[in-house]
A and B are shown apart, each in its own frame.
Chain A
Amino acid sequence: MIITVASGKGGTGKTTVATSLAYTLADLSPVLLDCDVEAPNAHLFLEPDFDSWREVSIPVPVIDEDRCTACGRCADVCQFHAIVVAGTRASMFPELCHGCGSCAVQCPEAAMSEVPRAIGTLERGRGKGNVDLRHGRLNIGEPLAVPVIRALKQWAWPGTEQLVIRDAPPGTSCPVVEAMRGSSYVILVTEPTPFGLHDLNLAVELTRTLGIPAGIVLNRDGLGDMRVENYCFQEDLPILMRIPFEERIAEALAGGHLLVEAFPAYEPDFGQAYNCIQESLHPERPAAQGLGVRP
């Protein structure tokens, strides 16, 4: 089963939920993927020793100037303006290339070959609670997060029986779509504020477009107003869990502690949220008593 934790709005508590959920469900040996490759942060809480590493690259074209006739076909087919053909030569902007390969396929002179260009790295290690954390890191200045997220999802694919928790990037753009794609369930973390509601609405639309069932974690509960809850009721979105708006929680998180590490009283809430997800996905299976909750 793959559970993706997303939010729409940034800073609502995706990583707080994803790390504590993984820690709580340690008996199920979950794999936690930090898919926010532009700013991974789950490792700050889980403090793993990264012991394996791999590079992510995309194929970019190299132009054989002897064969190139500057016909302009490659520049025509490139949707990202990565190739400019003017006068007698083609110029290449590798940082704009998405690695789709259209130019190489379309070149009538077979003047283009593709070489890998590194855009990021993947790291893996075990952290607190023996959680298997894997994250991607987009190289500084690189604009393409999606290929790094895709490589992270494919790296040492654990099989369908394994529980995978993906911590998505904020927003509703391509990297979030890539993080959600293929998930069994999406947990949307929001806060009861106008911004929270606005971006939650966008994120809900995205999960519906992708056809993935979703439930809500209401963070900073007690702040703001009732509009988020009314929205959840109207849209038939289950509220899986609430985390109150408390200074002591903010303090613990700012100190690098997991929510459930600082406040073990929340472990049953995470276990219950997981059971709710299980039940909504497999209504025929009875929920295991106390599943995933540490003794």
Chain B
Amino acid sequence: MNLAISVNEPQFDAALERRFGRCRYFIVIDTDTIAWAAHENPAAKSQGGAGPGAAQFLADMAVSAVISGDYGPKAFTALQAANIEMYAAKTGTAEHLLQSFLAGDLEHAAKGRGVQHHGRQAL
């Protein structure tokens, strides 16, 4: 299966970006082979709708699970509609988060944790 992790650098040891829709990159890992690739998040710079845009991107990449910090209400609904499992983490590198995921240590994200807002916010 394909697992995506939201980060800001295209590296396996990149730190988690807690904002799902506005992360710069997704590290997408095939959990069977541990082959990974970094993909630029095409929705990161959208004026609005970054959450659904990023969810569409992951759905198109046949991702089944994602690790991020907070999911906005629209991102949550879109990921749910796409049958992508959402996991919540606070910190860690993509590498460590993959290990936690494989060990079953991560929690599912709760609905509506993220704050809904219109357009880009300061980093």
Is this pair of chains taken from one and the same complex? yes
Contact B118 A143 (CB under 8 A): yes
Can you give 28 contacting A-B residue pairs, CB < 8 Å? A72-B60, A75-B56, A80-B46, A80-B47, A80-B48, A81-B48, A81-B49, A81-B50, A81-B56, A82-B52, A84-B52, A84-B82, A85-B56, A86-B56, A86-B59, A86-B78, A86-B83, A86-B84, A87-B59, A87-B81, A89-B81, A93-B49, A93-B74, A95-B74, A96-B48, A96-B52, A96-B74, A143-B118
Query: Which A residues are in CB contact (< 8 Å) with B48?
Result: 80-81, 96, 143
Residues of A whose CB lies within 8 Å of any CB of B are 72, 75, 80-87, 89, 91, 93, 95-96, 143
| B43 within 8 A of partner (CB) | yes
Additional 14 contacts, C-beta under 8 A, given A86-B56, A86-B83, A93-B49: A72-B60, A80-B47, A81-B50, A81-B51, A82-B52, A84-B55, A85-B59, A86-B59, A86-B84, A87-B83, A89-B81, A91-B77, A93-B78, A96-B49
Query: Which A residues are in CB contact (< 8 Å) with B78?
Result: 84, 86, 91, 93
* Closest B residue to A143 using CB positions: B118
Query: Which A residues are in CB contact (< 8 Å) with B60?
Result: 72
Give the interface size class of chain B: 20 to 34
Q: How far is the CB of A177 from chain B (nearest CB, A)?
A: 14
| B53 within 8 A of partner (CB) | yes
* Closest B residue to A90 using CB positions: B81
The 9 closest A-B pairs by CB, nearest first: A81-B49, A86-B82, A86-B59, A81-B53, A91-B81, A81-B52, A96-B49, A84-B78, A143-B118
Q: How far is the CB of B55 from chain A (nearest CB, A)?
A: 6
Q: How far is the CB of B95 from chain A (nearest CB, A)?
A: 28
Query: Which A residues are in CB contact (< 8 Å) with B47?
Result: 80
Q: Max chain B CB contacts within 10 Å: which of A89, A91, A95, A143?
A: A91
A193–B81 Cα distance when bound, in Å, is: 51
Q: How far is the CB of A144 from chain B (nearest CB, A)?
A: 9
Query: Which A residues are in CB contact (< 8 Å) with B46?
Result: 80-81
Query: Which B residues are in CB contact (< 8 Å) with A86?
Result: 55-56, 59, 78, 81-84
